[in-house]
Chain A
Amino acid sequence: MKRTPHARHLPLLVTASLVLLVFIAGALVYPRFASFGVVRNLMVDNAFLAVAAVGATFVILSGAIDLSIGSVMAFTSILLATLIEQHGWHPLAAIAFAVIVGGAFGLAQGLIIQAFELPAFLVTLAGMFIARGGAFLVHPQSLGIKHPFVADVLNERLSLVLPVGPHGVTIPLLVDIALLAIAAAAVVLSFTRLGRNVYAVGDHEQGAMLMGLNIRATRLSVFTISGLCSALAGVVFTLYQQSGDPAACKGLELDAIAAVVIGGTLLRGGIGSVLGSSLGVLLLGLIQTIVTFQGNLNSWWTKIVVGFLVLAFVALQRRFTR
C-alpha cells in the first residue's frame, strides 16, 4: 500500500514550489535573470549559509538550538587567515585544523549542556560570545589571504567539471563543498542509527530513552556536527571572501535558523529534512537576488520578506503538524 503524502511534508512541497515560482517570476520580469551566471552566483554566494544550515538542521531536528554558528564561523575565518598569512601554514593544513577546532568547540558545548543539564539556548549563547571574543583575540581586524591556493579557489582553477556539453559544466569548489555536506547530512539523517536517533530524540525524548536509545551520545554528536559545520561554513566563507574577519557573520545563525524553518523543519524537533533546509537557503538567496535585480529597492527589503516568510511557515506548520 502506498502512503499518501503526509500533511507534514506539505511545508517542504510549499518551499520547493516557492523556489520554482520565485525563479520563474524573476525570469519573466528581468531579462537576464534566467542565466547560467545568475544561478552560479546564487549558489556561490550562499554556499557558506547552506553549510551552516546543515549543522543547524541537525541541532533543530534534535529539539535544541545553536546560537554560536556565526561566531564560530568568524573565529574559523580569522584563525585560517592568521595561520596562513602570519604562521606560514598551508591552507589545507589550516583548514583541517580549523575544522577540528570547530568540532571540539561544538563538542564542548554539548558536554556542558549534558553535564549541567542546561538549556542549549543559554550554553550556545555563551558560546556565541566566547567564540566572537576569541576571534578578536586571534587577530583584531580583518586580514586578507594572498596564498595562491586560495586565489585558485576563486578563479575556479580548483573546480569540479562535469563532463556535460562541449566545454563541461564547471561547479565551483565552494558549491562542491556545500553540495557534499548536504548529501552527507541527508544520508546520515535517513540511513544511519545516529540520524534516526536525532529524529527520535527531537520527537519524543522520554520515549527515546525508554526505547533504550543513547540520548547522551546523540546530543553530543549533534552539537559536534553543528560545530564541524559551522567551522566548515567558516572555511567556505573565508575562501569566498579571500580574507579572515573576526567581525564577520554576525547573526548568521539566525539566517541559518530561518532557512531551516522555511525548509519545513519543526523548531520543536523531530520533523524536517536537510533537503528542506537547502531549499530554504536557496529561497533566501533568490529573494536577495530579486531585490538586487530590482535595483531601486533597499536591500533591507530582503529581511522584511524573509521575516514574513518565517511567520508564514511557522503558521503553516502549526496547522499541519499535530
Chain B
Amino acid sequence: MPADSPLLSVRSLSKRFGAVVALDSIDLDVSPGSIHALMGENGAGKSTLIRCLMGAVRRDGGTVLFEGTACDPASPRHAEAAGLSTVFQEVGLIPHMSVAENITLGRESRRWGLIDRREARARARRALARLGLTIDVDQELGGCSIALQQLVAIARALDVSARLLILDEPTSSLDRRETAELFAVLRRLRDEGVGIIFVTHFLEQVYQLCDRITVLRDGAHVVTRDTRDLPRPQLIAAMLGRTPAAPGASVTSAAPADAAPLLRATGLRRRESIEHADLTIPRGAAVGLAGLLGSGRSELARMLFGIDRPQGGRIELNGETFSPRSPRDAIARGIALTPENRKSDGIVPNLSVRENIVLALQARRGVLRSLSRREQDAIADEFIARLGIKTPHREAPISTLSGGNQQKALLARWLAANPALLILDEPTRGIDIGAKQEIESLIRGLINGGAGVLFISSELSELVRACSRIVVLKDRRTIGELRAPGLSEEHILEAIAAHA
C-alpha cells in the first residue's frame, strides 16, 4: 500500500431508515497515522456512519475501501476482524469481569480447547503497555474509573491489532486530567500509524488533538479540511449551517439581595456523597455549580430534589425548613430536576413526545384534575415549537428522537409545570451547539419570570454565560462562590486550583 493512500476511503455511502435519509452520499478519507475529527449537530448522522462502518447496520449504497480492499462487514465482529474497532460512547464492556477478560473476551487464546488465562493476562498487559499503562489486569472492570474503562476499551481494540480506531464521544464523562491522559494515548497510537476517527462535541478538544476535520449536517457531508485551515467560527458555521451568534453577553441580572432567597442550604452533608455544602439560590437568578467530575455536583442536586436525604445541615425553601423525603415532595414544592443521565433517569422511552412533556404537569395536578387531550396537545405543540424539538409528530415515541431533542423534550416537561426552581444537571452533555444556545435562552426566560435555576455543567464557558453566580465544588465540598461581574472560566479554574 503506498504511503499516501488513505487507510479508509468511503464513497457515496447512503443509508435510509424508512422514509428518512440518515446518510446521503457521504465521502470520507482517513489517513493512517492521523486523527480525524467527525463533527456535527445531533442528527447529523455521525452515529449512523459509525454503525455502518462497523456493520452494526448495513448501508444501502456506496463503497468502503479499507486498506485498499472492499469492506462490508456484516457485524461488529467482522469489522473487528478486518481491523476496525470502535470505542462506543457508553463504554460497551462487561462490568463484573476482569480487565484482562474484557480485553480478550470473544477471542481468547485456547489450549486444548480451553481458555488459556495466563496467555489472556499476558496479552492484556501487552495491549495496555502500548498505551503506557501498567495496571492490575485481574481487577474487576466495574471498579475502575470511567476514564480507565475507556482506556481498557482502547486496549481491547489494539489487541485485535486495529488499524482504524473509532472513538465515539470518549471524553464526555472525563475530567480535564483524564482527557489529557487519553489524548496522550491517542497521540502515541497516531505516531504508531493507527488511523483514528474522533467524534466529539468539544470544540477545544478538536483543536488540541485532531489533524483533520469532517463536518456532517443533516446526513450530508459539509466540509473536510485540515484543522489549521478551519478556524473555530467557520467550523461552527459549518456545523450549524448558519453564522453563529457572537458569544452571548453574560446574563446581567442584578444580584438580588440575599434577604429572602428562594432556597438556602447550609452545612449539607451525607456520607460518600457530600462532605459540606452551602448554597443560596436567589429568586430570578441562575446559579451555576462548577467542579470537576466527582466533586459532588450531582450529589448536591440529588439532595435538593429529595432523592438522597442529607445526614446533616438544613435546607430552607422560601424561608421555611424544607426536608424532602422523595422527589414527590420536591415536585410538590415546585422544584424540578433534569437528571444527568437522561436515558436511564429522564425519559420514558416508549411514551410519545406529548406524553413525556405533560408528565410532570399532570403529576402536579393530581389524578383527579386530568388535562384534557386538547390541552395536552396544545401544550405539547407549544413546546415543540418553542424549543424547536425535531420530531415527525407529537405522537412519535420519544426514543426515536436524537439525544438533543430528547433533552429538549425533557426540559419541556419541567417548563410546562412552571417550576419555582429548576435544577439542570448537565443538560447540554452530548447535544449540539444550536440546542445548547436554545437551552441557555430558556434559562434566561425562566429567571426573567422570577424562577430560580441551578445549572450544573462541565463546560465552564456555558456556566459563565448563563449564570450570575457560580458555586465551586471541590472534593465534595463547596469551596466558594463567584459573582458577576468578574465571572470567567479562568476565575473558576483559579478557584479550583487555589483551594488546596
Interface residue count on the A side (C-beta < 8 Å): 26
For A196, list chain B residues within 8 Å (CB): 97, 101, 105, 108, 115
Interface residues of A in 247-273 (CB under 8 A from B): 270-271
The 8 A CB mask of B153-172 against A (1 = contact, 0 = none) is: 00010000000000000000
Asked whether, in the complex, the Cβ of B92 is within 8 Å of the Cβ of A203, the reply is no
**CB proximity of B118 to chain A, nearest CB, Å:** 12
Asked whether, in the complex, the Cβ of B113 is within 8 Å of the Cβ of A192, the reply is yes
Asked whether, in the complex, the Cβ of A1 is within 8 Å of the Cβ of B136, the reply is yes
Asked whether, in the complex, the Cβ of B88 is within 8 Å of the Cβ of A210, the reply is yes
Asked whether, in the complex, the Cβ of A206 is within 8 Å of the Cβ of B94, the reply is no
The 8 A CB mask of B77-93 against A (1 = contact, 0 = none) is: 10110000010101111
For B138, list chain A residues within 8 Å (CB): 1, 3
Also in contact, A204 and B114, with CB within 8 A (given A3-B139, A196-B101, A211-B106): no
The 8 A CB mask of A171-192 against B (1 = contact, 0 = none) is: 0000000000000000100111
**CB proximity of A73 to chain B, nearest CB, Å:** 30
For A209, list chain B residues within 8 Å (CB): 76, 92
Of A3, A191, A192, A203, the contact of B97 (CB 8 Å cutoff):
A203
**CB proximity of A269 to chain B, nearest CB, Å:** 10
For B16, list chain A residues within 8 Å (CB): none
Q: Could you say which of A191, A197, A209, A271 has the most chain B C-beta atoms within 10 Å of its C-beta?
A: A191
| Interface SS of A by simple majority | helix
Asked whether, in the complex, the Cβ of A6 is within 8 Å of the Cβ of B140, the reply is yes
A208 sits at the interface (CB 8 A):
yes
Also in contact, A193 and B108, with CB within 8 A (given A204-B94, A207-B93, A271-B96): yes
| Interface SS of B by simple majority | loop
A200 sits at the interface (CB 8 A):
yes
For A200, list chain B residues within 8 Å (CB): 94, 97, 105
Asked whether, in the complex, the Cβ of B92 is within 8 Å of the Cβ of A213, the reply is no
For B113, list chain A residues within 8 Å (CB): 192
Asked whether, in the complex, the Cβ of B92 is within 8 Å of the Cβ of A210, the reply is yes
B362 sits at the interface (CB 8 A):
no
B132 sits at the interface (CB 8 A):
no
| A–B complex contacts, Cβ < 8 Å, 30 sampled | A1-B136, A3-B139, A6-B140, A8-B96, A187-B114, A191-B115, A192-B114, A192-B115, A193-B106, A196-B108, A196-B115, A197-B105, A199-B94, A199-B97, A200-B97, A200-B105, A203-B96, A204-B94, A207-B93, A207-B94, A208-B94, A210-B56, A210-B76, A210-B86, A212-B75, A212-B80, A214-B77, A270-B94, A270-B96, A271-B96
A-B contact sample (8 more), CB < 8 A, given A203-B97, A209-B76: A6-B140, A196-B108, A196-B115, A199-B96, A200-B94, A206-B92, A210-B76, A213-B106
